[in-house]
């Protein structure tokens, strides 16, 4: 058991500095007790739905312990970005805490809109966090928030769908995956081998990166040179187009905008395989939510040149213009604390942001995902992030869709996107 724990920790703690969580809203001495009259405004991307809310269910505990009122508002991701851009342009104090991911941290941190927390916590405090989780709130070595959960993409299989097609072995290679997808597709019964997310630019870019990491490609390199239209990128997009032409991708994929949309479709049991985040395992194996509970398994992502996965940790940042920064810091410390994180893990299946929970026997026993994460993390991981993330996403996404629809070749679509993105990047130099 100790050997497994070491493997998990080494795999998950392989990226850089780590962070700290505190077990009380006031920070256990790391923060200042805030006035009871304070009201905090939090703007967040969707936090889940129904019984699968991720972090917001614990906000009332913070309010009760501190007397601080928290106005927690969920906004669709694209609309949230637009609203935050407007708020930051006006240097408005109307928002205190905001949801973030690695792309927005780079964008808003680079622009000076986020409070730099690097020196607000001690090294010992930072060292309590999982490095992979901290990546989502880090840009150029500076910490602009605290993580909400840690995440690495998994390849999920519906055992019942595979068994129905006479398949008893999980796919290890891309070619095997394609054969399985063909064998499990029955359009007359609305059954498809693969479920993707292609309902907006963000999901299109994620789906592209799911395959790009397998071909050894990149979106851009560390010097902002465009790489996505190089042979590895063309190969990745051609692989996706091939799946579309084979008719093995669920048409519902084109309507998927949110993670909840995808998980709801997956839980119907009509698809055999999909890429998804950690919460999928818990939801798909819950009889109250899933048509194939007990038969959703996770496996290493099928390889092309290599196996690999993208990461998707989320976090919370504090607005540079907030008038309630101490209270805001208390809140995000609370949400990333041991107690809250353990409850979140056991309830939703997301990976925790606290190192110590990867040694917690109850947490380890709750899901095989911890062993999966240890194994998958040995291989390449990626998630594009830059100050121009949103602009690149909104430029590349439509071109990816044109290729998927057969209106452009993969090479033409990527070259056309690259020409536009080159102009975007030049504005940041």
Domain ranges, ordered by start, for the chain: 2-151+312-379, 154-310+388-426
In SS3 terms, the chain reads as CHHHHHHHHHHHCCCCCCCCCCCCCCCCCCCCCCCCCCEEEEEECCCCCHHHCCCHHHHHHHHHHHCCEEEEEECCHHHHHHHHHHHHHCCCCCCCEEEECHHHHHHHHHCCCECCCCCCCCHHHHCCECHHHHHHHEECCEECCEEEEECECEEEEEHHHHHHCCCCCCCCEHHHHHHHHHHCCEHHHCEEEEECCCCCHHHHHHHHHHHHHHHCCCCECCCCCECCCCHHHHHHHHHHHHHHHHCCECHHHHHCCCHHHHHHHHCCCCEEEEEECCHHHHHHCCCCCCCCCCCEEEECCCECCCCCEEECCEEEEEECCCCCHHHHHHHHHHHCCHHHHHHHHHHHCCECCEHHHHHCHHHHHCCCHHHHHHHHCCCCEECCCCCCHHHHHHHHHHHHHHHHCCCCCHHHHHHHHHHHHHHHHHCCC
Tokens of 43: 């703007």
Rounded to two decimals, the pTM is 0.85
The per-residue pLDDT for 16 is 38
- Choose which CATH entry (3.40.50.920, 3.40.190.10, 3.40.50.620, 3.40.50.150) describes domain 2-151+312-379: 3.40.190.10
The per-residue pLDDT for 397 is 98
The per-residue pLDDT for 37 is 56
The per-residue pLDDT for 34 is 46
The per-residue pLDDT for 153 is 95
The per-residue pLDDT for 13 is 43
Are 2-151+312-379 and 154-310+388-426 the same fold in CATH?
yes
Q: For the domain made up of 154-310+388-426, give the CATH fold.
A: D-Maltodextrin-Binding Protein; domain 2 (3.40.190)
Distance CA 429, CA 424 (A): 10
The per-residue pLDDT for 103 is 96
Average pLDDT across each block of 10 residues of the chain; the chain has 429 residues. List them in order: 43 39 36 60 94 94 97 96 98 98 97 98 95 94 97 97 98 99 98 98 97 98 96 99 99 93 96 96 96 98 97 97 98 98 94 93 91 89 93 98 98 99 95
Which long-range contacts link 279-282 to residues 24+ away (Cβ below 8 Å)? Answer: 279/48, 279/52, 279/54, 279/348, 279/349, 279/350, 280/154, 280/156, 280/349, 281/154, 281/156, 281/349, 281/367, 281/368, 281/369, 282/347, 282/348, 282/349, 282/367
Pairing of strands 142-143, 192-195: unpaired
The per-residue pLDDT for 14 is 43
Residue 373 CA, chain-centre distance (Å), reads: 14
Distance CA 148, CA 138 (A): 13
- Short-list 64, 7, 3, CA closest to 370: 7
The per-residue pLDDT for 85 is 98
Distance CA 387, CA 62 (A): 33
């Amino acid at each position: 058991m100790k050997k497994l724990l070491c493997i998990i920790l080494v795999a998950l703690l392989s990226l850089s500095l780590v962070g700290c969580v505190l077990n009380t809203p006031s920070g256990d001495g790391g923060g200042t007790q805030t006035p009871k009259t304070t009201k905090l405004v939090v703007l967040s991307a969707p936090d889940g739905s129904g019984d699968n809310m991720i972090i917001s269910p614990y906000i009332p505990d913070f309010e009760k312990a501190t007397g601080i009122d928290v106005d927690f508002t969920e906004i669709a991701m694209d609309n949230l970005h637009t609203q935050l851009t407007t708020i930051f342009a006006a240097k408005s104090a109307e928002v205190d805490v905001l949801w973030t991911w690695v792309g927005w941290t780079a964008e808003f941190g680079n622009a000076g809109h986020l409070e730099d927390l690097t020196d607000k916590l001690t090294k010992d405090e930072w060292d309590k966090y999982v490095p992979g989780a901290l990546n989502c709130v880090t840009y150029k070595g500076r910490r602009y928030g605290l993580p909400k959960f840690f995440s690495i993409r998994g390849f999920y299989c519906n055992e019942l769908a595979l068994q129905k097609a006479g398949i008893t072995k999980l796919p290890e290679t891309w070619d095997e995956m394609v054969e399985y997808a063909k064998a499990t597709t029955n359009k007359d019964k609305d059954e498809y081998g693969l479920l993707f997310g292609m309902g907006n630019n963000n999901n299109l870019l994620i789906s592209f990166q799911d395959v790009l990491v397998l071909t050894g490609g990149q979106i851009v390199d560390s010097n902002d040179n465009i790489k996505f239209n190089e042979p590895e990128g063309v190969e990745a997009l051609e692989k996706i187009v091939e799946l579309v032409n084979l008719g093995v991708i669920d048409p519902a994929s084109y309507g998927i905008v949110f993670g909840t949309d995808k998980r709801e479709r997956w839980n119907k049991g009509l698809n055999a395989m999909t890429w998804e985040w950690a919460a999928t395992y818990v939801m798909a194996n819950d009889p109250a939510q899933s048509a194939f509970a007990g038969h959703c398994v996770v496996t290493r992502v099928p390889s092309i040149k290599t196996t690999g996965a993208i990461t998707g940790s989320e976090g919370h940042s504090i607005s540079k213009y907030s008038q309630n920064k101490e209270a805001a810091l208390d809140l995000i410390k609370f949400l990333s604390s041991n107690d809250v994180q353990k409850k979140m893990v056991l309830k939703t299946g997301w990976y925790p942001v606290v190192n110590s929970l990867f040694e917690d026997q109850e947490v380890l026993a709750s899901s095989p995902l911890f062993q999966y994460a240890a194994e998958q993390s040995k291989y390449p991981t990626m998630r594009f992030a830059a100050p121009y993330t949103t602009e690149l996403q909104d430029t590349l996404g439509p071109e990816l869709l044109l290729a998927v629809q057969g209106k452009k070749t993969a090479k033409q679509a990527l070259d056309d996107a690259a020409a536009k993105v080159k102009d975007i990047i030049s504005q940041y130099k």
